Homo-oligomer: A and B are copies of this chain.
Amino acid sequence: MNFLEERIVKDGVIKEGNVLKVDSFLNHQMDIELLDRIGAEFKARFASHPINKILTIEASGIGIACMVARHFNVPVVFAKKSKTINLDDDVYTAEVESFTHRCKNTVVVSKKFLSPDDHVLVIDDFLANGCALQGLLSILHAAGATVEGIGIVIEKGFQNGGRTIRNLGYHLESLAIIDKFNDDGTLTFREQ
């Protein structure tokens, strides 16, 4: 097990319906040392890519993305969730469905901050069905930016999101991939 898998086993809480709560260290309370180590790991895995910007989505992706960005020495852009229909600025938009919250959000990024000159690493905390990630990728394609890679902290390997993204040829790195929530309350991680 790597450092993240060990932490998930130690402090993650498994709930009914294949729900893993990591809110004590990743997405409500955030362990900054762990985030820093996650940043170093992504830097190692994407070292050969000419990344000049990191894109994430609010809210829980932002802290992770900032701590990763330190290791690449690049700025972070975060896509904003918007309920507003009249978007007064010049923005890229995508529709994103949230299964957790059972709602649709429009996510927006100002056109000022993404261009064909950008070589982008996408960062997010979770990947399951991949709706949020697909929204970010569609925004990057609309901007003409190059997707250098995708870094996910925890992937639910038994859902479709990761497989689809890999089939499309993207360089996707997930630091922990959960292949199964076992009946005895343990997790099976994919060997990487």
**Which A residues have a C-beta under 8 Å from some C-beta of B?**
23-25, 28-33, 35-36, 58-59, 62-63, 65-67, 69-70, 73-78, 80, 109-110, 112-113
User: Do A29 and B63 have beta carbons less than 8 Å apart?
Assistant: no
- Count copies of this chain in the complex: 2
User: Do A75 and B31 have beta carbons less than 8 Å apart?
Assistant: yes
Given contacts A67-B66, A70-B36, contact A28 B59 (CB under 8 A): no
Residues in B with CB closer than 8 Å to A59 are: 58-59, 62, 78, 80
The A interface, classified by DSSP as helix, strand, loop or mixed, is mixed
User: Do B66 and A32 have beta carbons less than 8 Å apart?
Assistant: yes
User: Do B66 and A30 have beta carbons less than 8 Å apart?
Assistant: yes
Complex Cα–Cα for A177 and B127 (A): 40
Given contacts A62-B62, A67-B70, 7 further A-B contacts (CB under 8 A): A28-B80, A30-B77, A32-B75, A35-B66, A36-B70, A62-B63, A63-B78
Which of B24, B32, B62 makes the CB contact (< 8 A) with A113? B24
Complex Cα–Cα for A62 and B23 (A): 14
Residues in B with CB closer than 8 Å to A24 are: 112-113
Residues in B with CB closer than 8 Å to A74 are: 32
Q: Could you list 21 A-B pairs, sorted by A, with CB under 8 Å?
A: A23-B113, A24-B112, A25-B75, A28-B110, A30-B66, A30-B75, A30-B78, A31-B75, A32-B66, A32-B69, A32-B75, A33-B73, A36-B70, A58-B58, A58-B59, A58-B62, A59-B78, A59-B80, A62-B62, A62-B66, A63-B63
Residues in B with CB closer than 8 Å to A35 are: 66
Complex Cα–Cα for A92 and B29 (A): 14
Tell me the minimal C-beta distance from A94 to chain B in angstroms: 16
Which of B30, B36, B76, B110 makes the CB contact (< 8 A) with A23? B110
Which of B30, B31, B33, B78 makes the CB contact (< 8 A) with A28? B78
